[in-house]
Chain A
């Protein structure tokens, strides 16, 4: 009896938290929070410093004026229009292609065939290729076609399209995979062909997921500068781009150009343009997250 009682006394009381109050776990939890706080701290610092830097130059002139050799006269109008041209062209080229490729891989491809396995592995690898390599690809392609001036809207859109194609494919596949098999089976049971099932049931059900992924991919393309830099987009554009073969510059490239100038005024302009670009990207990300949270169904 006494041995049993002493044994019971030896057991530490089980407070529901199972030793969580001891020093080790508390320190661990503090470290975890610290890592998140540091990440958000940097984000906050970045936004605050850029807004403070850019404030003096964030005026309507930024939207209406052309670049100038004096920072107090310069604006980003051609860069804004150029970004719109390039992104719209990129979207028109990538979205149908990416969705079609994803539908093939997810709904029709026979995974036992070597070709389809190759495509799958390839999409995985393409997602890891550095963005600047896509710029080199577009550069080589345009010189193969004998294009003299590489800095044209369609060339930039080509590089960005190939860059975000794997992202669109991967996002679309995940959205399609989340559609339950019962919906497809029901449609097939009513006599629809596989293609009708995909077009009328599976794809509409996956639209929120596809839209989220596509918006995120396009926002990535909008912020991307490296491939366009290789294609020579860093030029003094003092006209409105007006077509697929027109010369252009984009917002990230304009920021890069102004960052490299020695005068302080141009750094303020770069900061102001960064605020504009960040604002647009945050709005796009917010829309994507909103779509995901509001419209994504759970079956």
Chain B
């Protein structure tokens, strides 16, 4: 009797018949090449970081060979272009601190308010309208925000309407408008975090008799805290690094800022302004740009590291 079912061949099972076709497919050198190309693309991001570090470090080392690190970090007079040049970075840092704090004072409450409204109160239809509208705020170019800060907020609102004793520029106007710019960042990330809180927690809270405000503040908010912290920290790093608004509206006098109605120059504002002048490669002036850039890079990197650590620390597992 011969079997009608084709049998598996191969030397071990059925001598004389050809071996079973391998299911592993043929070798494809093209595939390996394509995968290598993909890997190289991913490696470009690491190269970029290394590039940033090297690009900032090399001229900065030239700078710190002439200016002691202590004088740079703790000096309170910033006058790199004067005959008796002084390189104390504190004036730039105070201005940056002021604009950041003012921006956060605007962006954190408004951003969180918008996020709570969108995630806890708005129905799906309302959310579909409001969210893209909020995203438009994020799409406005910063140079336009800067123009608005200078022409409207500073000269019309602060000086004409409120009669505040301020000059042509102020840290306050730049900070306020920067806050508006950051609202969508904080709103959209914390909205994501709050929407990710499981419905069961809200239902449990409601079943215990809590109203929606209590549920939001005592259940959803703590549960989404890690995401909210991440949103705020990202807002901080955007405020520290924002350039055009402060370059246009905050002024360019590098003095220690003690009053928000004063003008002041931030770290980014200095880089933007100094780059306008033609500084020769290798000159101390050119190196100064990179020293301030390095400080800016280190600060934002530190903020980001804190954010990642905080998110890990406060992460709630459901």
Contact = CB atoms under 8 A, between A and B. Distances in A.
A29 B121 contact: yes
Interface stretch (A31-39, A176-184, A236-244): A31-39
A153 interface: no
A162 B137 CA distance: 23
B288 to A, nearest CB: 12
Interface residues of B, number: 87
B211 A20 contact: yes
B241 to A, nearest CB: 3
A140 B55 contact: yes
B293 A17 contact: no
A39 B114 contact: yes
Interface stretch (B43-51, B66-74, B75-83): B43-51
Contacts of B41: 96-98, 100-101, 104
A165 B48 contact: yes
B136 A282 contact: yes
A124 B144 contact: no
B180 A255 contact: no
Nearest to B177: A42
A18 B146 contact: no
Interface string A1-32: 00000000000000001111010110011011
Interface in B3-60: 25, 28, 31, 34-35, 37-39, 41-46, 48-49, 51-52, 54-56, 58-59
Nearest to A100: B41
B248 A259 contact: yes
**Quick one: which of A132, A139, A165, A285 has the most chain B CB within 10 A?**
A132
B218 interface: no
A232 B109 CA distance: 38
Contacts, number: 264
A219 interface: yes
A119 interface: yes
A195 B55 contact: no
A260 B114 CA distance: 34
Interface in A282-299: 282, 284-285, 289
Nearest to B128: A293
Contacts of B145: 46
Given A50-B144, A274-B144, A126 B211 contact: no
Interface string B275-295: 110100100000001100100
**Quick one: which of B133, B139, B247 has the most chain A CB within 10 A?**
B139
Given A36-B117, A133-B293, A282-B136, A122 B59 contact: no
11 contacts: A35-B112, A39-B187, A119-B42, A123-B45, A129-B301, A136-B293, A225-B143, A225-B244, A229-B244, A232-B275, A274-B147
